[in-house]
Amino acid sequence: MLSRDEMKVDQKPYRVDGSIYQRFPVTNQAFAIVSTRDMGEPSYLGFLEKMHKNLGTRMQQGDKGFSREENARDLGANAMNLILGSYGFPNHQFLQWKSMIVPEHLSKMPVGNSSKELTDMVKNTAKLYGSDLTGITELDEKWIYSKDMEKPFIIIDEGEPEEKEEGFYIPRSMNRAIVLAFLMDEEMIYESPELDASVATSFGYSRMGITAVSLAEYIRALGYRAIPSMNDTALSIPLAVDAGLGQLGRHGLLITPEYGSNVRLAKVLTDMPLEPDQPIDFGITEFCENCILCAEHCPPEAITQGEQTIDCNQITGNSGVKKWYIKGERCLNFWQENGASCANCIAVCPFTYGFESMQCFECKGCAERDRGCILQTNTLYRIENGYLKQERWADRGEVMIPRRRGL
Ligand code: SF4
Ligand code: SF4
């Protein structure tokens, strides 16, 4: 059985071609592309209109999984997300780049703890505030968006993190990203593409907002600067990979050793001198090469069954990283048609629920791998460490909800 320490690697587990890669603008995200096309003007969440219209039709038709009660559960789960940050816009709503409640004299007086002590303090507090996995990385500037919907993100040598008329300024001293992962309700995710999977996602977003906003105020109260962030400002998945939380899968999502891909991600950028974690490699790239479950179960065929590439031939992807590129517009158009977001690729990924012997019939990979079947190995790791319960080896595992002390 591999422990997390044995998964650590010195090199990042992906390849970037620096001659091709350029920082990515939010306006090229699928959400922005589809929304702007639908609304006829720049928009990020306009895609929701068509999705909600079809949701109403399905509720009226009495479609299974689209009842009034299920919709109410989704709206309630999404409340804190919409109040705090609406999925994430920089320096907006409660995702403020300046302190909201910490007295100014405290926010300008850094505590004298060592980096090791600060790192332990931040990780323990992130857990208290609701994070299920927390990793720290040096902030790689190439993962900061080049531009938001209207203004650029400008990296400066000195100064404060702040929004001005001409852009969002991020000083180079904000050189750490604390990446936070939140486990979603596994049973509800299995209901995808029905509304209950959307409930799990919405609640994940609400928890992201609560923890990111709270952790940013905690850091400011210790005398350092903090930018709380949901989907905005920088790309969460590469930061999570750099912070050692997991690896990128064929479906374009993070796969963690503890919870597979059933997590949502937020981050806090800071100038607190925290100790970075090492990235990990537990064999996901090799496993995904032989597994196409997510691609087979993606209703609009937005996930490729082919090889990794470095060139992405569509506007919603960003060439220069060797990976499997997702057809983002197809994915989002399916959400609109479906009347609710989809999570089929999370639900069917075997790293979400662990090894089942039936999968061996579909997978031809173990003979080709020199480390054995990483799914079996990782499932043992999860069972031994209390992340998964499995009564019998051949049965589907039950994901264990982590004990959280606080929020
Ligand atoms: S969310 Fe659904 S539609 Fe989108 S890539 Fe995953 S399986 Fe496909
Ligand atoms: S379903 Fe299979 S191919 Fe897709 S991400 Fe999970 S392990 Fe990789």
Residue 77 CB neighbour total at 10 angstroms? 22
Note the pLDDT of residue 211: 98
- How many A from CA of 248 to the centre of ligand 1? 15
Note the pLDDT of residue 357: 80
Query: Does residue 219 contact residue 177 with C-beta atoms inside 8 Å?
Result: no
Listed in sequence order, the residues at least 6 apart from 114 whose beta carbon sits closer than 8 Å to its beta carbon are none
- How many A from CA of 178 to the centre of ligand 2? 26
pLDDT tens digits along 83-103:
999 999 999 999 999 999 999
What is the position in ligand 2's atom list of the atom closest to the CA of 253? 5
Percent of the chain with pLDDT over 70: 98
b/e per residue, 279-292, with b = 16+ CB within 10 A? bbbbbbbbbbeebb
pLDDT tens digits along 107-139:
999 999 999 999 999 999 999 999 999 999 999
Note the pLDDT of residue 368: 64
Note the pLDDT of residue 80: 98
SS3 (DSSP) at 135: strand
Q: Distance between CA atoms of 328 and 2, rounded to whole angstroms? A: 34
Q: DSSP letters of 227-251?
A: EEESSSSB-HHHHHHHTTS-EE-TT
Q: Distance between CA atoms of 361 and 344, rounded to whole angstroms? A: 21
Q: Which residue ranges in the chain fall short of pLDDT 70?
A: 362, 364, 367-371
Ligand 2 pocket residue status of 288, Cβ below 6 Å:
yes
Note the pLDDT of residue 371: 66
Choose the residue to mutate in 298, 326, 335 for probing ligand 1, maximizing ligand atoms within 8 Å of C-beta: 298
For the chain, domain boundaries:
4-399
* Nearest CA among 105, 128, 129, 116 for reference residue 273: 116
Note the pLDDT of residue 152: 98
Listed in sequence order, the residues at least 6 apart from 239 whose beta carbon sits closer than 8 Å to its beta carbon are 137, 139, 140, 143, 177, 179, 267
Note the pLDDT of residue 394: 74
